[in-house]
Structure 1
Amino acid sequence: MIEIHNIHKSFNGKKVLDGISGVFETGKTNLLLGGSGTGKSVLLKCIVGLLKPDIGSVTFDGTFFTNNKLDIRQEIRRKIGMLFQGSALFDSMTVEENIEFPLKMLTDMSKSDRKDRVNFCLQRVGLENANSKMPSEISGGMKKRVGIARAIAPNCTYLFCDEPNSGLDPQTSLLIDHLIKEITEEYDITTIIVTHDMNSVMEIGDKIMFLHKGKKLWEGTSDNILDTDVKEFKEFIYSNRLMRDAKTVEDERDDRV
């Protein structure tokens, strides 16, 4: 479980995050939702320690991360897996070398153990025998799966995904969503996903936090998302045609009842 307490962050006098608090639960897909420029990625960076909040704190399973001793912060960082927006694979490395990279950096595993772990992770994301391929030889969806394999390779406790469906077609996006959810549940990981994709929200939104202009305006699940009375959130939701259609169906059903 990850907890954030009263997070504030400004850049050059402009407030980007304004007092955000919340809990991200273990074994569930926790989504940070909002439009562009609402502070989602900045909040994610504050949580993982890439940025330091001006005010506020972050705890990982009860251990304070913000402003704690360096060795404690480093120990927590070793438990973090990251799936970057563009997959961020090393172009000059093979698929196997990309996945092995964090194992070399963060563990003392032997070469044979690293090889076994790479093969296991590739199998888990459905990319058996892709070891020798270069990033330029695989599709966007495959790159995302390699990125997931690399993120979970060091047996991460916490998984952070920044726009995992960016640039993917709807069918591949759905596959990536469900792969992340399956891995989260299977390994009991605390997963936080930054997204603006309402399809992802409805498919895998165990817990959703909606940000608008740096503030948390709504929190809930995909089951009660249509019941919101928050004006800004309703406008965001119904800018998506799928959600407008879902609302129409629900209203028609209510009228019949």
Structure 2
Amino acid sequence: MSDATEPDVLLGGDLTVIGQITTASNATLVCDSILGEQSMRVVYKPVRGERPLWDFPDGTLAGREVASYRVSETLGWGVIPRTVLRDGPFGLGMVQRWVDTVDRVSDGSSEPEIVDLCSPGNVPPGWFEVLQAFDSEGEPVSLIHADDPRLQRMAVLDVLINNADRKGGHALEGVDGSVYGVDHGICLHTDNKLRTVLWGWAGQTVPGSLIADVAELATAVDGHLGDELSELITDAEIAALAERAKNLTALAVMPVPNGHRTIPWPPF
């Protein structure tokens, strides 16, 4: 399906529920969006299925997913699959294009996933070891991720949108060769809530090409992007996004973990 037809199917197709992702915290339904002869697999998260949180206003997670997507698109990075806010079988919700992912197990590959666990001492050369911990069975493990520019863009995006829950399972390696981030419902808070498994670049200089995009984002937030986001998040949250973009542009250095709650656990 061409990019030109994708928005129409995503926005205007009839959603038919074919399954549910039962491990998700909020109601997450897998659907086919059907418009005439065209069909697209999507993820649909209705607002009415959002679990209340103490630190995020009720009913705002779907809007935050769409706002995060628009930030990614303004940067020109394509990190987040196309995401829209629209009506569905269970009311208003977020609808996002499904990502077909690389299946290393079925392919017989011995390579780890782009974010993975391994035994300590077996970190692949050139990979980042984020921390050592114990798994659910009490066995020692290392949390690792690839030193991959596709993943680095995601890490920078997470700083900008203040992602409070970047788990390994939210970083998907698509069969099309791209790396996608999903599940951005708890982003864009005014308080610093960055929690991520992607700390490999902590304290490192951000590549100049990415900083140039961040600088353009800071300008866009004060203009057309800010107007778009005003329908999805608060003015204070938009101002906080602009401030993070300006600070990262000025410093050009990735933040470092500042406490024990900066890595989600379990990490998947």
Fold conserved between structures, TM > 0.5: no
TM-score normalised by L of structure 2: 0.26
Q: Which has the higher relative contact order, 1 or 2, with Cα contacts under 8 A spaced 6 or more apart?
A: 1
Q: Counting helix residues as a fraction of each chain, which structure ranks higher?
A: 1
